[in-house]
């Protein structure tokens, strides 16, 4: 089981906010490769917002949608 909480908002830079339950601190990381599917906050369309879930068995954050039909997978490594 992971000791971090992962959060992304579909930002253009593809960053992921990582909260460590051990240190009680946030860290911004930029994954290698394409970023999370972008959202269209201005449109207000629910279908245009990325949706995701965390798979604890595989230790991955999976995000689908946004303004594309892409699936994005991020595995946070242990430091």
In a domain, 33, yes or no: yes
The Cα-based distances of 62 to 20, 26, 50 in angstroms read: 19, 20, 10
Residue 79 lies in a domain: no
pTM, two decimal places:
0.63
User: Is there a contact between 42 and 67 (Cβ–Cβ < 8 Å)?
Assistant: no
Q: Which domain holds residue 63?
A: 4-74
At residue 79, the pLDDT reads 41
Counting the structural domains of the chain, the total is 1
Residue 40 pLDDT: 62
Inside any domain, residue 59: yes
- pLDDT value, residue 75: 85
pLDDT for 63 equals: 84
Distance CA 1, CA 7 (A): 17
Averages of pLDDT over each 10 residues, the chain, 79 residues:
72 77 90 71 60 83 78 75
The values of phi and psi at residue 71, to 5°, are -115, 130
């Amino acid at each position: 089981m992971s000791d971090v909480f992962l959060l992304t908002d579909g930002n253009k830079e593809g960053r992921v906010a990582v909260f460590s339950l051990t240190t009680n601190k946030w860290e911004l990381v930029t994954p290698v490769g394409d970023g999370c599917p972008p959202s269209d906050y201005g449109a207000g369309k629910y279908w245009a917002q990325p949706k995701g879930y965390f798979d604890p068995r595989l230790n991955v954050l999976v995000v689908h949608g946004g303004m594309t039909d892409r699936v994005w997978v991020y595995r946070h490594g242990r430091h």
